[in-house]
Amino acid sequence: MSTLEIKDLHVSIDTEQGTKEILKGVSLTIRTGETHAIMGPNGSGKSTLASTIAGHPRYNVTSGTITLDGEDVLAMTVDERARAGLFLAMQYPVEVPGVSMTNFLRTAKTAIDGEAPKLRTWTKDVKEAMAQLRIDADFTQRNVNEGFSGGEKKRVEILQLELFKPKFAILDETDSGLDVDALKVVSEGVNRAHGEGNMGTLLITHYTRILRYIKPDFVHVFVDGQVVEEGGPELADRLEDEGYDRYATGAGAATIAAASAAAQA
C-alpha cells in the first residue's frame, strides 16, 4: 500500500514576459488501488501538474510538497522518481533518435528494477504486451517513437506502463487523438495494469469518453491551476452534460476552491 501526496503545490514557469504562476495551490492524495480523474479545460495546468510530479526541469515549485510514502519526491532527480515508482505517460511522447525500442525498453527495465530482466521471460513479456496493445512486432526494431503516429505513441506509453509496473501512473491525456478502437485498446491496457492491484492511477483528461472504459473512484475538476470541485464518478457525468462553462474563472473559482478545500479538510 503506497500513498502519493501532493500538498498546496504552487508551480511557476519562466517566460519571456517574466515568471508566470500556473499551479496555484493544488492538494491531492492518491493511494494504491485508487483511480483519480483530473478533468479540466485546455490551459488549466493539467500537464504542468503531471510534468512537475515527474520532475521536468522547466517547472519551478515555489511552495508545497510532493511525497511518496513520506519520501520527498521534489528532492529526487527525474530518474530517481521513476525508479521510486512514478510513471508519467506523456501527452506528447518524445522521439529519441538512434535508440531502438528493444534497447530502450530493456535499459529502462534494468534501471527501474536495479537488475537486468531475465532475457527469455522479458522477450516473451514484451511480445505479449505488444500483441495485447496491437503494436506491430517490428516496432521493437524502430527508434523510440520515431515516425510513430499519435495513436502509436500513446499505445507505446501504455506498453511501458505495463512492463515497468510503477506504483503510480500519471496518464496525461492518453486518450486525446485516439479513435474509438485505439481508445478501447489503451484503456484495457491501463485496466490490466491497475487490476494487478499494486498501482494507483491519476488519469488526466479533457474529455469524459475515456471514463466509460476506465472507472474513476474520484473526479477532480481543474480550472486555472486549482481544483475547483471534487466528487465521485457522478461528477464526470455532470461535466459530460454541462461542460466546464459553469466554472467561470476569476472570483467565482476562488470561492469554489475555498469550498472544496474546506470539504477536503
Partner 1 sequence: MTDITTEKARIGAPSAQPFINGFTEEGESLSPLNAAESKAPLAGEAVKRHSHGGGVGIPDSSRAGRLTSYKLADFKPLTGMEEDWRFTPLKRLRGLHTEVLGGAAPAVSITAPDSVRVETVGRDDRRIGSAAIPEDRVSANAWENFAEATVITVPSEVQVDGEVSVLLTGQGTEASAQHIVIVAEKFSKSVVVLDHQGTAVVSENVEILVEDGAQLTVISLQEWNDDAVHASSQQVKLGRDAKFKHIVVSLGGDLVRVTPSARFTAPGAEVELFGLYFADAGQHLEQRLFVDHAVANCKSNVLYKGALQGRNAHTVWVGDVLIRKEAEGTDTYEANRNLVLTDGARADSVPNLEIETGLIAGAGHASATGRFDDQHLFYLMARGIPEDVARRLVVRGFLNEIIQKINVPAIEERLTEAVERELAATNH
Binding site for partner 1 (CB under 8 A): 54-57, 77-79, 81-83, 88, 90, 93-94, 96-100, 103-104, 107-108, 111-112, 143-144, 160, 164
Residue 22 binding: pick among Mg ion, ligand ADP, partner 1, none (C-beta 5-8 Å cut-off by kind): ligand ADP
Q: How far is the CB of 87 from partner 1 (least distance, A)?
A: 8
Does position 47 interact with Mg ion (CB under 5 A)? The reply is: yes
Residue (19 or 77) nearer to ligand ADP, CB: 19
**Which residue in the set 6, 9, 11, 22 belongs to the binding site for ligand ADP (CB under 6 A)?**
22
CB atoms < 10 A from the CB of 197, how many?
7
For residues 211 and 43, give the distance between their C-alpha atoms in angstroms, rounded to a whole number.
21
Q: By C-alpha distance, which of 20, 38, 19 is closest to 91?
A: 38
Q: By C-alpha distance, which of 27, 21, 79 is closest to 261?
A: 27
Stretch that binds ligand ADP, among 44-52, 64-72, 209-217, 240-248 (CB under 6 A): 44-52
Residue (37 or 112) nearer to Mg ion, CB: 37
Residue (73 or 204) nearer to Mg ion, CB: 204
Q: Are 203 and 28 in contact (CB under 8 A)?
A: no
Q: Which residues contact 253 (CB under 8 A, 6 or more apart)?
A: 223, 224, 226, 228, 247
Residue (99 or 261) nearer to partner 1, CB: 99
Query: What count of residues does the chain have?
Result: 265
Q: By C-alpha distance, which of 225, 236, 257 is closest to 49?
A: 225
Does position 52 interact with Mg ion (CB under 5 A)? The reply is: no
Residue (63 or 141) nearer to partner 1, CB: 141
Does position 47 interact with ligand ADP (CB under 6 A)? The reply is: yes
Q: How would you classify residue 134: left for phi > 0, otherwise alpha for psi between -120 and 50, otherwise beta?
A: left
